[in-house]
Chain A
Amino acid sequence: MIVSEVEQQMRERKMSALQSLTTSSAPSSRVMLYTTPGEVVDGVNASEGFLKGHGTQVSEGELRATVSGVVERVNKLVSVKPMKAKYTPETGDVVVGRINMISSKRWKVDINSRQEAVLQLSSVNLPSGQQRRRNEADELNMSRLFDTADVISAEVQSLFQDGAANLHARSTKYGRLSRGVLVEVCPSLVKRLPQHFHALEVAPGVFIEVLIGCNGFIWVGSPGAATSKQATNEKSKTHEEELVVVDKKERENIVRVANCVRVLDEIFFYVTPQSIMSIYKQSEGIDAKSILTSDGFLARVIEREIDARTRTEEDADML
């Protein structure tokens, strides 16, 4: 691969920016403890007693980590959270998933966790809102509701014994997603927030809808793609009717927002509506496809972040 001199410079600038981000001083409020597997977790006194949380083991009377990550303590409960791992479902999480398989009375859904999630036919509302008849025809029609490879939004209803999630889509909020793209990011970059459906105002009066699934699957689509199912419910639209053409301008916006999310994953920043918008604003003047490929852009994003941090640190010093 031939790399031009400018590109090379930009790459170096990106690397040095990343480096200085790592070395920029840690906030005084929170001291991070890092451990690697087999290491005795720091600051845990065996004689005082402790509770073994996730990512830890007890060997020879001492608490040791089993994953490489950050130590988290809640009173006596000590757990180690890995920086990068598969999604661990929790009751109440809003997730975006892809239908892997239809089996009897249930869909198997890929939600980026270590077990396939289950969505039972009984925990789904029919699009028309009518009552479901529990007969065979109803089961045979499952693929008309969600077919394999469809992307859906749902909520974790409960967990099975082995850690697999039982989903439900019993709200008008949830259902099949259309008119958008699915972006996969690291699940630890998504924080649990009160609201996961967001409409981002990318230009005055122009909205792009983003559904940030707790499992790191993010749906970026045109307005109403994820939320306003009510409109479609009235007429009980079939899959084909939902396939509305999204015009070119809107497609461009969707792709740009999707690429902004990918940038956040690339540089490992939290994915929140604010962070997406901040990347989006910085990306103005660059065409959507080069957001990801240009090292110069990434370098600028990281440098801005360092600036913002040093400023907040200075503010903290002033106080």
Chain B
Amino acid sequence: MEYVSLEGLRNDGRRPNECRHTSCAFENPISANSCSGSAEFTFGQTTAVAAVFGPHSSLSTSTIDSLSIERLKVTVEITSAAFGMDAIPKKRATNAATLMKSSKSSRKNKELAVKFEQILRCCIDAKRYPRSEVYVSAATINDDGSASAALFNGIVLALVDAGIPMLDVFVAVCATRLDGETLLDQNEVEERGRGVECFVVAETKERRKTDGLQKGNIGFNSKMNDDYGDDDVKRIVSYDISGGKLAPAAVDDLLRACAKGCDEVSRVVRKAMKKRLRKLASTTRNLA
């Protein structure tokens, strides 16, 4: 199967470096009432929702580890809605097969949750919240590829909605290498192509032009920065390449495309934040 046509278009009509339609909303209807912040994020047909509970006091004082005493502890839980996964073929739709499928995806979700916890630890201004913890619950409502990026973005939005201090608006995108091309924000068909996959989280704040050589303030992989003198790539906070081998030039291409994708997503996200602020501020001003 060819993933990029001769005209340079992908099977859903996008160019290789193009994201699907991105949208986000605050207060997802599933969990809006009980939590302190919630959001919904979509890439095309991939939809993820996230809800933040807390911050509240660390529940069990006896099991406090040294980290959570002086910093905010973040716990992430990720689930996938059973109706949101790709349909199970009729032949295999026995009970056992369904169970196997769900256990596999729950292992994947657990891994993802641990990864997100680690990334979020350097994204949140955690020192301001000693002896407290925050619980994040996220779910894939519909998986049409790049679900991990949608989940991460949903979580970041929910944290911002809950008023938890973040060093920046961190956004994530996924990309894959197929047919020797970098495909940004792969959909489900491209995900099944089993190319090398990449998950990137990048900071998106405007930097002054002059400090192009300066390193960011968070857990950078310094080796990477030395190898690639690119401004866009310098913004990358965390990346994860899996599923095969790649030539250095291809990695460079992949990361650069992801960094560009993050910028694009962050524009949508920041716009949504401003809109939300305007809406909330409009109701609370000069009321008798």
Which residues of A does B touch, CB under 8 Å? 18, 21-22, 24, 26-27, 30, 32, 34, 36-40, 55, 57, 59-60, 62, 64, 66-70, 82-86, 114-116, 162-164, 188-189, 267-270, 272, 274-275, 278, 305, 308-309, 312
Among residues of B, the one whose C-beta sits closest to the C-beta of A22 is B282
The answer, among A22, A30, A37, A275, for a CB contact under 8 Å with B287, is A275
Interfacial chain B residues near A115, Cβ < 8 Å? 56-57, 131-132
User: Are B205 and A39 in contact, CB atoms less than 8 angstroms apart?
Assistant: yes
Known: A39-B206, A57-B125. A86 touches B287 (CB 8 A): no
Task: Given contact pairs A39-B205, A83-B284, A85-B164, enumerate 7 new A-B contacts (beta carbons under 8 Å).
Answer: A83-B281, A84-B36, A85-B36, A86-B163, A163-B130, A267-B283, A275-B287
State in angstroms the CA–CA spacing of A21 and B57 once bound together. Answer: 37
Q: Is the CB of A38 within 8 A of B55?
A: no
**Shortest distance in angstroms between A44's beta carbon and chain B's nearest beta carbon?**
14
Q: Quick check: A305 and B287 within 8 Å, CB to CB?
A: yes
Can you offer 7 A-B residue contacts whose CB atoms are under 8 A? Answer: A36-B270, A38-B166, A38-B168, A67-B166, A83-B163, A164-B131, A278-B288
| Most chain A Cβ neighbours within 10 Å, of B130, B204, B282 | B282
Q: Is B243 part of the contact surface with A, judged by Cβ < 8 Å?
A: no
Which chain A residues lie closer than 8 Å to B203 at the CB level?
Answer: 38
C-alpha spacing A114/B288, complex, angstroms: 30
User: In the complex, which of the residues B37, B129, B286 has the most CB atoms of chain A within 10 Å of its own CB atom?
Assistant: B286
Known contacts: A38-B168, A60-B214, A162-B130. The answer to whether A86 contacts B55 by CB under 8 A is: yes
B125 proximity list for chain A (CB < 8 A): 57, 66
* Residue of A37, A62, A308 touching B288 (CB-CB under 8 A): A308
Size class of the contact patch on chain B: 35 or more
- Cβ < 8 Å to A, chain B residues 234-288: 270, 273-274, 276-288
Contact with B205, one of A30, A38, A55, A69 (Cβ below 8 angstroms): A38
Q: A114 vs B206: C-alpha distance in the bound complex, in angstroms?
A: 31
Task: Give Cα A129 to B259, complex, Å.
Answer: 67
Min C-beta distance of B105 to chain A, whole Å: 29
Chain B residues with CB under 8 Å of A268's CB are 280, 283-284
User: What residues of chain A lie closer than 8 Å to B132, measured between beta carbons?
Assistant: 114-115
Known: A268-B284, A312-B286. A70 touches B167 (CB 8 A): no
> What string of 1s and 0s marks CB contacts (under 8 Å) between B193-237 and chain A?
000000000011111100100100100000000000000000000
Q: A18-B279, A36-B274, A60-B214 are in contact. Are A84 and B205 (CB under 8 A)?
A: no
Classify the secondary structure of A's interface with B: loop
CA distance A109 to B196 in the complex (A): 52
Chain A contacts of B166 at CB under 8 A? 37-38, 66-67
- Say whether B165 contacts A269, CB under 8 Å: no
Is A275's CB under 8 angstroms from B288's CB? yes
Indicate if B169 sits at the interface (CB-CB under 8 A). Answer: yes
Chain B interface residues toward A at CB < 8 A: 36-37, 54-57, 125, 129-132, 160-169, 203-208, 211, 214, 217, 270, 273-274, 276-288
Min C-beta distance of A265 to chain B, whole Å = 10
CB proximity of B106 to chain A, nearest CB, Å: 30
**How many angstroms from the CA of A70 to the CA of B203 in the assembled complex?**
22
CA of A267 to CA of B279, assembled, Å: 10
The CA-CA distance from A268 to B205 in the complex, in Å, is: 30
> A68 and B286 in contact (CB under 8 A), knowing A34-B278, A38-B169?
no
The one of A21, A84, A274 in contact with B161, judged by C-beta atoms closer than 8 angstroms, is A84
Question: Nearest-CB distance from B164 to chain A (Å)?
Answer: 7
Asked whether B36 lies within 8 Å of A68 as measured between CB atoms, the reply is no
A166 CA to B232 CA, complexed, in Å: 48
In angstroms, Cα B204 to Cα A65, docked, is 13
Bound form: Cα–Cα A84–B54 in Å: 12
Q: How far is the CA of A123 from the CA of B207 in the complex (A)?
A: 51
Contact A68 B284 (CB under 8 A): no
Measured CB to CB, the nearest residue on chain B to A26 is B285
Q: Which of A32, A67, A86, A267 has the most CB of B within 10 A?
A: A86
The answer to whether B54 and A83 have CB atoms under 8 Å apart is no
Residue in A24, A27, A34, A305 whose CB lies within 8 Å of B274: A34
CA distance A114 to B130 in the complex (A): 9
Q: Are B167 and A38 closer than 8 Å at their CB atoms?
A: yes
Q: Is the CB of B208 within 8 A of A60?
A: yes
Looking at the complex, which one of A21, A163, A270 makes contact with B282 (CB distance below 8 Å)? Answer: A21
User: Of the candidates B55, B56, B273, which one forms a contact with A68 in the assembled complex, judged by CB atoms under 8 Å apart?
Assistant: B273
The reply to whether B277 and A64 contact each other, CB–CB distance below 8 Å, is: no
For A27, give its contact among B160, B164, B285 (CB under 8 Å).
B285
User: Cα distance A40–B164 when bound, in Å?
Assistant: 18
Determine whether the beta carbon of B165 is less than 8 Å from that of A22.
no
Q: What's the nearest-Cβ distance from chain A to residue B274, in Å?
A: 6
Give the complex CA separation of A92 and B36 in angstroms.
25
Quick check: B217 and A59 within 8 Å, CB to CB?
yes
Contact B37 A116 (CB under 8 A): no
